Copies of this chain bind each other. A is one copy, B any other.
Amino acid sequence: MMEPIFDARAMTSLTDSLLLSLRVDQPGTLQARLHRAIREAILSGRLRPGERLPATRLLAKSLSLGRNTVSLAYEALASEGYLTARGGSGHYVAADLPDAPLNHDPIPVRTSKTAALAALPVSSGQPALDLFPRDLFARLTARAWRRAGPALLSCRDVAGLPPLREAVAHYLRVTRDVRAEAGQVVILSGVQQALSLLAHLLMPDRDAGVGIEDPGYPGLVETIAALGRPAISIAVDRDGAVPPAPAAPTLTVLSPSRQYPLGLTMPLARRIAWVQAASEQGFHILEDDYDSEFRYEGKAQPSLQGLDPSGHVLYTGGSSKALFPAARIAWLVLPDRLVDPFLKLRHALDSFPPLASQLPLVDFIGEGHFARHMRRLRMAHRDRAETFAAAFRVTLGDRFHLSGGGAGLHLIAEPVTGDLPDDRILARLALDAGIGAAALSVTYRDVAPRQGLLLGFADIPSSEMPSRLARFKASVDAGSISDFQRPHHGLG
């Protein structure tokens, strides 16, 4: 029953390697494992762009799997851009996947001269804090403290509590396709600490610059400036950050899941181009997966780190966006070769992370409460994004074009009339009206800035949106800043 177009020897070799991959003790369902195995065959070049895959029925038989399992894995791979389905003739490896680093026109790499953004609103928003399960959190925390004996009270693990690192590694493997074992996970206070320590570790030349998207997250520009290093702009096009030619800086921070602030999701071809460039040129990417939990439409792209077998992508995410801003707990996933030198440096500069911020999360993540809370937030955020967008269009639709809302914690409102104040003034007006806001223009450095507002929708109960938006509209109409000069808050 083999279809004539398919080469039997290649088939045998493919199924052998898939079988091998499936046999390895890996997490996830059979379908997830097959999915991963095929993806790896594509990424490693064993399956080439344009090549046809075995028919589902055939592969299912060879691997002793249900045909449905194979079909679902193919469909998932197609939705992610790895495969294309051609009507009745089966599945092919996508033709636009690069099998060598893409050649780009040279991108101007310039050193940023404007680092004084510290005083402007920079946060990318916060989740629905009114839905945080504080009673549950209090109960888990108290239980953990009551059980904490001398061994735990004196635990000095430089990388963080082993059971928390185990829980984080499992969570990241399952939800973000990160290649993570507990031994590679380091608990930190946030992406700033990750960046400081990595810059120190990977670039002994203290004047070497750090690559950062332009537009990008001003908080990281501030960190780089405080380190006394130049921020090197990485251009962003409609597919996200563009790999610069001839080479990227030794350490480059990217937000491929949801580019900050523009909200772009980097497509697969661009991801592979970055991973290949990093591996071939020997630079490192710090993947800032800051709010990957919050995707309300479509399917999330798995992490960039998961595409990189060479250990040049370092993954960081955290709980400050997901749980609450004051949590200040994050995780960094390192390749094995960097774990020891990183921990030595961390020990010298910061000893180890505090027990109190780790302790509640061990069970909160490990017992599945975190994942459940994320599901609940996703539903609430999707509702709030829709309600906010509808109310905004009614109130201010003649002044602004609104976009985003399919993911993350902010929408983008861009002025469509020329008579509006500067976006930094608009952000203050929005904050005064009780809407978390930041100016889009301050996220640009070397690239000519666009005017716009990042508007936090997730932490406003739907019932309060119309009145706050009406207040915002009134002050935009009045064209003046209120006397209430709030300190420099970010979104919310």
Contacts and interface: CB of A to CB of B under 8 A. Distances in A.
Contacts of A474: none
Given A356-B357, A357-B356, A347 B156 contact: no
A134 interface: yes
A132 B146 contact: no
B354 A156 contact: no
Interface in A98-151: 118, 126, 129-130, 132, 134-135, 137-139, 141-146, 148-150
The A interface, classified by DSSP as helix, strand, loop or mixed, is: helix
Contacts of A150: 129-130, 132, 459
A240 interface: no
A350 B190 contact: yes
Contact of A223 (B141, B189, B349): B349
Interface stretch (A35-43, A168-176, A326-334, A403-411): A326-334
A196 interface: yes
A324 B146 contact: no
Interface residues of A, number: 62
A353 B329 CA distance: 10
A354 B351 contact: no
A11 interface: no
A352 interface: yes
A193 B189 CA distance: 12
Nearest to A222: B348
Interface in A303-329: 324-329
Contact of A356 (B130, B219, B227, B327): B327
A196 B349 contact: yes
A182 interface: no
A352 B130 CA distance: 22
A127 to B, nearest CB: 10
A394 interface: no
A345 interface: yes
A146 B154 contact: no
Contacts of A359: 356
Task: Name the residue in A118, A141, A354 with the highest tally of chain B Cβ atoms < 10 Å from its Cβ.
Answer: A354
Interface of A: 118, 126, 129-130, 132, 134-135, 137-139, 141-146, 148-150, 152-156, 189-190, 192-193, 196, 200, 206, 219, 222-223, 225-228, 324-329, 344-345, 347-357, 359-360, 459, 489, 492
Given A156-B489, A356-B356, 6 more contacts: A141-B142, A200-B226, A223-B349, A226-B348, A329-B354, A329-B356
27 contacts: A118-B347, A126-B154, A130-B150, A132-B153, A135-B146, A138-B141, A138-B146, A141-B142, A153-B326, A154-B324, A156-B325, A156-B326, A189-B350, A189-B351, A192-B351, A193-B350, A223-B349, A326-B355, A327-B354, A327-B355, A328-B351, A328-B352, A328-B355, A354-B354, A355-B357, A356-B356, A356-B357
10 tightest A-B CB contacts, nearest first: A226-B348, A142-B142, A138-B145, A326-B355, A153-B324, A328-B354, A129-B150, A356-B357, A354-B357, A138-B142
